[in-house]
């Protein structure tokens, strides 16, 4: 009878990924960590939840006006609300480039706000 070499503890541990925070909505976080989550909350509280990239409501992440890769800081002045998808699409693109590719056509939005 050969002894099985597969019962070592090390092997078992590798097959289980480390357990991270599993509380709450389980949303994808861009930078990870409690600090970034706090910054997102502060950004949405200060600037609202209108995505600054597409102009629609429902933003759930914070986007850097100046990308971190270009020296942008994690401050409220450099953060604006954005959809996760818009945030991801923009990546490290400059804002000028983004709006060149995704112009905000606010004129097309028909708002029947004067019903009375
Ligand atoms: Zn958006």
- In order along the chain (116 residues), what is the average pLDDT of each group of 10 residues? 57 50 46 87 98 97 92 95 97 92 70 60
Measured in Å, residue 57 CA sits from the centre of ligand 1 at 8
Q: Tell me: the pLDDT tens digits for 12-29?
A: 444 555 555 444 444 444
Instruction: Give the SS3 label for residue 57.
Output: strand
Q: Which pLDDT does position 4 carry in this prediction?
A: 59
Measured in Å, residue 93 CA sits from the centre of ligand 1 at 15
Q: Which pLDDT does position 3 carry in this prediction?
A: 61
Domains of the chain: 31-102 (1.10.30.50)
Measured in Å, residue 49 CA sits from the centre of ligand 1 at 10
- Using a 10 angstrom Cβ sphere, with 0-12 exposed, 13-18 middle and 19 or more buried, the burial of residue 31 is middle
Q: Which pLDDT does position 92 carry in this prediction?
A: 86
Going by C-beta distance under 8 Å and a sequence separation of 6 or more, which residues neighbour residue 74? 35, 36, 39, 64, 68
Measured in Å, residue 19 CA sits from the centre of ligand 1 at 31
Q: Which pLDDT does position 8 carry in this prediction?
A: 52
């Amino acid at each position: 009878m050969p002894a099985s070499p597969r019962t070592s503890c090390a092997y078992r541990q590798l097959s289980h990924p480390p357990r991270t925070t599993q509380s709450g909505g389980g949303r994808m976080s861009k930078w990870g960590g409690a600090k970034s989550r706090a910054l997102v909350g502060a950004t949405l509280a200060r600037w609202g939840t209108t995505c600054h990239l597409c102009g629609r409501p429902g933003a759930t992440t914070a986007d850097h006006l100046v990308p971190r890769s270009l020296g942008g800081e994690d401050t409220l002045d450099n953060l604006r609300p954005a959809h996760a998808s818009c945030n991801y699409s923009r990546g490290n693109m400059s804002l000028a480039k983004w709006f060149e590719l995704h112009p905000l056509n606010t004129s097309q939005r028909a708002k029947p706000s004067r019903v009375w």
